[in-house]
Amino acid sequence: VCGGRRSCWPGSGGTRGRAAMDLFGDLRRMNKRQLYYQVLNFAMIVSSALMIWKGLIVVTGSESPIVVVLSGSMEPAFHRGDLLFLTNFHDDPIRAGEIVVFKVEGRDIPIVHRVIKVHEKGNGNIKFLTKGDNNEVDDRGLYKEGQNWLEKKDVVGRARGFLPYVGMVTIIMNDYPKFKYALLAVMGAYVLLKRES
Q: Using one digit for the tens of pLDDT, what is the confidence trace for 74-107?
A: 999 999 999 999 999 988 889 999 999 999 988 8
Largest Cα–Cα distance in the chain?
88
Domain 66-164, CATH:
2.10.109.10
* Catalytic residue ranges: 73, 113, 139
Q: Chain-wide mean pLDDT for the chain?
A: 83
Is the separation of the CB atoms in 25 and 17 below 8 Å?
no
- Could you state, in order of their start, the residue ranges of all structural domains in the chain? 15-60, 66-164, 167-196
pLDDT tens digits, 6-51: 444 444 445 555 555 565 566 566 667 777 877 888 888 889 989 9
- Residue 25's closest CA among 197, 196, 189? 189
